Amino acid sequence: MRTIAEFEAAARERLDPAHYDYFAGGAQDEITLRENETAFQKLRLIPRVLRGSDKRDLSVTLLGTPSSMPILVAPTAFHRLAHPDGELATARAAARAGTIMIVSMAATTAIEDIAAAAREVAPDPGLWFQLYLQPDLEFTEAIVRRAEAAGVKAFVVTVDSPVLGRRERDDRNAFHDLPPGLFVENLRNIGENRSGGNTSHVREIVMSAGLNWDHIAWLRSKTKLPVLIKGLLHAEDARLAVHHGVAGIVVSNHGGRQLDTVPATIDVLPEIAAAVGGALPVLLDGGIRRGTDVVKALALGADAVGVGRPVVWGLAAGGREGVSETLEMLRADFDQALALCGGRHPADLTPDQVRR
């Protein structure tokens, strides 16, 4: 396999069409879904010359978690829909690659098992945990305690989903439940399960339109781990994130799956990076398919990027080996693009190297 697009084609051949549509699709007319990729394609790079190095160092440290490259595994739900080994395969591949995996709260494997699989491969794997804060805060706190006990190093609160986006492919396919035997495992076995034990419903996780900054303060009071927020697009929200003491932000439109017609993440990154002014790490996801996309995001102010669908395609196409190949392909592609831009380290990339 040579490109993410080839992995996607291989995944599509193997997947149930309704499951492929769930992974691939976006909200409504999928305008944002497409724009996440085309916005990168419209940007032009201006390389610097005569200042590179035979040896590049791609490593970064994000909120105390080292990563061998500034390319992380974004949280995506339901990996066992993509491959029987599910999140175990993804976690082993991410640990092998030495990169951070942000485990979805909607994983089809329990966080304890994911952490154990990662530890088989690396003694101290970089696992972060994504949270949808549930209106029942006691229930939410139980999930937080469980993830902490499993050894995660940060929490990533997704804030772009006050309600779930309308994915018309899922409506068309009537995809609303996981197949028999698959469950949202991180919501199971938490005391008496308040959701009534049926965690196989795709919409089982409660989206809370009533969340506000007080809930973020609440979470910060409940954990010593860094708390990031994921899914902001407005510079004023980035300023508020700094004001409210969050540890980091992820500029994200949820891969075009929430509010359709929001801009591509790369197009709002410069204003958000300016608003944050280096006060905290800025991550970005959405549409990263090539090393040049990574270079553009870092040059415009991101400290690292996340990849969602590319990991799912690798997983569906080849399980753990497929995810490893995907991550190594992205690493090599980024390394080459960095070299061609005259950089030795991710931090060498600067905004003047990107032109609209």
Ligand X SMILES: CCCCC(=O)C(=O)O
Ligand Y SMILES: Cc1cc2nc3c(=O)[nH]c(=O)nc-3n(C[C@H](O)[C@H](O)[C@H](O)COP(=O)(O)O)c2cc1C
Q: Let me know: does 103 contact 130? Beta carbons within 8 Å.
A: yes
| Residue whose entry in the numeric block shows the structure tokens 């469980």 | 146
CA distances to 13, 29, 174, 260, 280 from 169, rounded to whole Å, are 18, 10, 8, 14, 37
Within positions 243 to 272, which residues make up the interface with ligand Y, using CB under 6 A?
Answer: 252, 254-255, 257
- The answer to whether 254 is annotated as binding is yes
Q: Let me know: does 26 contact 255? Beta carbons within 8 Å.
A: yes
Q: Let me know: does 278 contact 244? Beta carbons within 8 Å.
A: no
CA distances to 111, 121, 213, 230, 287 from 265, rounded to whole Å, are 29, 33, 22, 12, 8
Judged by CB under 6 A, the residue of 44, 172, 203, 243 near ligand X is: 203
Point out which span in 86-94, 135-143, 198-206, 341-349 binds ligand X (CB under 6 A): 198-206
Measured from the Cβ of residue 352, the count of other Cβ atoms closer than 10 Å reads 9
Measured CA to CA, the distance from residue 97 to residue 51 in angstroms comes to 28
Task: Give min distance, CB of 213 to ligand Y, in A.
Answer: 18
Active-site residue identified among 19, 79, 83, 254: 254
Q: How many residues bind ligand Y (CB under 6 A)?
A: 23
- The answer to whether 256 is annotated as binding is no
| Nearest residue to the partner ligand Y, using Cβ | 308
Within positions 259 to 318, which residues make up the interface with ligand X, using CB under 6 A?
Answer: none
- The answer to whether 288 is annotated as binding is yes
Q: Is the dihedral of CA 340, 341, 344, 346 positive or negative?
A: negative
- The answer to whether 170 is annotated as binding is no
Phi, psi values for residue 72, rounded to 5°: -110, 165
- Known active-site residue 83: no
Point out which span in 59-67, 200-208, 238-246, 282-290 binds ligand X (CB under 6 A): 200-208
| Residues of this chain that bind ligand Y (CB under 6 A) | 23, 36, 74-77, 104, 106, 130, 158, 230, 252, 254-255, 257, 285-288, 307-309, 312
Indicate which residues carry an active-site annotation.
254
Known binding-site residue numbers for FMN? 75-77, 104, 130, 158, 230, 252, 285-289, 308-309
Q: Which residues bind ligand X (CB under 6 A)?
A: 77, 106, 202-203, 205, 254, 257
